[in-house]
Amino acid sequence: MMDTNGAAISARGLTKRFGAFAAVDAVTFEVRRGELFGVLGPNGAGKTTLTRMLTTLITPTVGEATVAGADVTRQPERVRERIGVIPQALTSDLDLTGWENVDIYGEFYGIHRRIRHQRARELLRLVGLSERAGDLVATYSGGMRRRLEIARGLIHSPEVLFLDEPTIGLDPQSRRAVWDLLEAIRGQTGLTISLTTHYMDEAEALCDRIAIVDGGKIIALGSPAELKTMVKGSDRIELEVTGESDRAVALLKQQPYALAVARDGSGQIAVTVDDGARVMPRLIATLDEAGVSVASIRLERMSLEDVFIQFTGRRLREETSRKPGFFSMSMGMPRPPGR
Ligand SMILES: Nc1ncnc2c1ncn2[C@@H]1O[C@H](COP(=O)(O)OP(=O)(O)OP(=O)(O)O)[C@@H](O)[C@H]1O
Ligand SMILES: [Mg+2]
């Protein structure tokens, strides 16, 4: 047994190969109890494969992992009792009502009827489906199904809840509702949440810590704030001055905090800095003292996208500008042969 220090999830050198291809490549990390942990990466990064190993659906080729104190290879049954799993595809049964979906799941786990019903009622209320619980799932929207599946995944009071792309394909409002729901259940006694996503805003909004994965490897791991500090000088202050922009540029270039100063065709000045929020007042004062007046100024905060670019030289999602339907976004990427 590996020493897990009470971690909710602990993986050491976890690897899954399909033939010679490593979909997950020697991944090592720990998730603390009570943490909301995110695995962020582009299509094909290995997020689902990693989740499937941790949830005992597939066995690792090499390496080991414990989840909720049990070994995924040697004690898969025990792991399964202690986890809730919400897979990437919608899996609630369309021919059953919302209530039945949750209730039957509880029955699988052998939860006593009275306790099961009480918990089902509470969970359906929590996910905002009390009113619709008696309706067939076939009449639900995608967002409602996702919320129902979260309720279902919690029926047996798991210690660790795994969600694979919980908001893929949902409209902005439904995504928001799922985020609110995850916020509401986080910090419930003893519950640890691990989610995968290829949405940066989702990872950033929800997660205490994020593992950025690409090509089966963790390329960076930390809190959103920590990840951003790994990239230097990516805060950008954009400003316009009234007249005298030459002088403003020359002046700004002399400032120690200005890592780079650029001016575009329209006269807008962009100053690359490390800690934009702290630098901004100093920058304004500098210009002010020199008699240059600022017409407009704004701070562009660094995004996790910048972190991803820094580590991989690529954008997290090449498709963001195209705005196709979610199916083409999630399934349109080339995959290696063998799948
Ligand atoms: N059963 C399999 N056989 C062969 N290759 C596989 C298999 N499952 C996954 N792969 C490959 O492993 C890589 C990782 O796939 P995985 O589904 O884990 O990625 P993902 O990060 O979940 O992607 P997405 O964002 O599209 O859900 C992909 O290149 C995929 O083609
Ligand atoms: Mg996936």
> Ligand 1 atom closest to Cα of 52?
18
Nearest-CA residue for ligand 1 atom 25 is 43
On whether residue 119 sits in a domain, the answer given is: yes
On whether residue 318 sits in a domain, the answer given is: no
SS3 60: coil
Same-domain status, 59 and 193: yes
Rounded Cα–Cα distance for residues 233 and 150 (Å):
40
On whether residue 59 sits in a domain, the answer given is: yes
Residues whose beta carbons lie less than 5 angstroms from ion ligand 2 = 47-48, 88
Same-domain status, 40 and 177: yes
Q: What is the pLDDT of residue 317?
A: 64
Count of domains for the chain:
2
Same-domain status, 85 and 204: yes
Rounded Cα–Cα distance for residues 108 and 36 (Å):
27
Q: Which of 27, 39, 49, 54 is the best mutation target for the ligand 1 pocket, counting ligand atoms within 8 Å of the beta carbon and taking the most?
A: 49
* Phi, psi angles (nearest 5°) of residue 99: -60, -50
Number of continuous H segments (helices) and E segments (strands) in the chain? 12, 14
Rounded Cα–Cα distance for residues 152 and 93 (Å):
11
Same-domain status, 248 and 210: no
Residue 30, domain CATH = 3.40.50.300
Tokens of 87: 């897979």
Full domain range(s) for residue 242: 235-300
Tens digits of residue pLDDT in 170-193: 999 999 999 999 999 987 777 999
pTM reported for the whole predicted model: 0.79
User: Which segments of the chain have a pLDDT < 50?
Assistant: 1, 3, 319-339
Using alpha carbons only, give the angle 279, 280, 283 rounded to the nearest 5 degrees: 85
Same-domain status, 121 and 256: no
Residue 283, domain CATH = 3.30.70.100
* Residue 310: half-sphere exposure toward Cβ, Cα within 13 Å: 17
Same-domain status, 283 and 140: no
- The beta strands (E) that lie in 94-252 are given as 160-164, 192-197, 209-214, 217-222, 235-241
Q: State the average pLDDT for the chain.
A: 88
Q: What is the pLDDT of residue 241?
A: 93
* Phi, psi angles (nearest 5°) of residue 241: -115, 155
Same-domain status, 239 and 212: no
